Amino acid sequence: MLLNLKRIQGWLLIIFLFTLPWQTRWIIKAGLINADYWEYGTISLYASDILLLLIIILQLIWRLLENIKSNISTSDLALIILAFFASVINIFLSLNHSLSLFHFGWLILALGLFIILRQEIIPRYSALLSLISGGAVVGLLGAWQFISQKTIAFSWLGLAQHNSSDLGVSVIEAVAPDGIVERWLRAYGSLDHPNMLGGLMALTIFFSLYLIFKEEIKGKKEIIIITAFIFLVAGLISSFSRAALLATVLGLIIYFIFAIKTGFKLMIKKALPLFIIGLIITALFAVPFYYVFLPRLTASTRLEQMSTAERIAGYKEALPIIKNNLIIGSGLSVYGLALKAQDSKQQVWFYQPIHNVLLLILAETGLVGLILWLLFILKTIIVSWKKFPEDRLIIVGTIIVLISLASFDHWLMSLHFGIMLSAVVWGLALRKPKILTEIS
């Protein structure tokens, strides 16, 4: 029975990782600002939440049946207690109690996911392969969306309709060779924004490089990774996400640095086919669509300049919110409401989180929340770094890619997919040392 429980949990975890990018959900309560739909205030139950909750319950049942005693350290226990009381105060003082409480529930689920992945219920390469394969499917969808300039709405898979002619849709204004200004739809894949698609592609591209170097990855699994890599690169390019492109480049640099230090010839030999494939796919997109890429690189068009100006203004607007809620924050997931309290006459798209994860955490949870979060992450990084020297490539690469994404966007903290993806990549990168447990 115990063996069956572990197998069921393992298969559910593989399914969860593969289907994570699909945003099937039940909208419990739509967020509204000035009578317009506001995504960041929407309370939703995702299909992935139900699956994750089942995985966590099976894990608890397994531990109970095995009578495994927890070996939590005093420092970890202190962090948990402090984080719990800080969260209670944060929710109590929030501008919207129910919204902050629901967001806190997502964080609890994400913490459970992080803990389970660190324990390696399934081999790490199986978990990474599942995440990469799921990302490849979404990357292929994104490439099709860009090439065809079409999207399909299908609520059961969480797919929404996006038209390049609609206001608010992520597009690129480009001057074609014939002098006509065109609006090109950026690929969304199955996600809420092209930057989220690009971020997923950046992470899975790095994980593909990491896996292809591992000795366990041979034969059919190696073919799967190479095939997936094609779709991941295509999805990255189709997203036109500059932060994701930067993150990918930095991930490649990290790979090369470790290659120089630890077996350059072997790492390059294994990764060379992927590099060649990546260059070919990039050329296939960049050559015929060069004039579409130029505005993103030069920021020379009206929309690109507006985007830059809005981001800079966003940092200025964040300062009063941070200053007025410096210790405990304005409340989880209520940054937009804090903006509205400052200026209630803007359009709904104005009330979005600041495009920087650390500043968003500071604004919503204050210095207390930011310090506790940094302590938790740094502690797990240090433990894994010391106990698993062979994991330092994936640890450093994951940190660099995530920092790159988090420095220029907010979705890793503000949206459900970002929170869960963050838990996944941290959990897969930072293994937990095996501790002898007392089983009676």
Looking at residue 437, its pLDDT comes to 38
- Determine how many CB atoms are found less than 10 A away from the CB of residue 82: 14
pTM, two decimals, is 0.94
pLDDT tens-digit readout, 39-72: 999 999 999 999 999 999 998 888 887 776 666 7
> In this predicted model, which residue has the larger pLDDT, 79 or 363?
363
CA 399 to chain centre: 12
pLDDT tens-digit readout, 188-200: 999 999 999 999 9
Q: CA geometry: angle at 330 spanning 325 and 336, to 5°?
A: 125
pLDDT-wise least confident of 254-263, 324-333, 371-380: 254-263
**Which two structure tokens, joined as six digits, stand for 314?**
């966003």
Can you tell me which residue has the tokens 């989220």?
A: 196
Which DSSP symbol is given to 69?
P
Residue 19 and residue 48 in contact, taking contact as beta carbons nearer than 8 Å: yes
pLDDT tens-digit readout, 364-386: 999 999 999 999 999 999 999 99
What distance in Å separates the CA atoms of residue 124 and residue 129, rounded to the nearest whole number? Answer: 8
Give, in order, the Cα–Cα distances in Å from 331 to each of 30, 36, 88, 293.
Answer: 18, 22, 10, 39
Residue 329 and residue 364 in contact, taking contact as beta carbons nearer than 8 Å: yes
| Letter string b/e over residues 88-121, b meaning 16 or more CB atoms within 10 A of that residue's CB | eebbebbbbeebbbbbbebbebbbbbbebbbeeb
Query: What does the pLDDT average to over 244-258?
Result: 93
| Average pLDDT over all residues of the chain | 89
Looking at residue 256, its pLDDT comes to 86
Residue 312's φ and ψ, nearest 5 degrees, are -65, -45
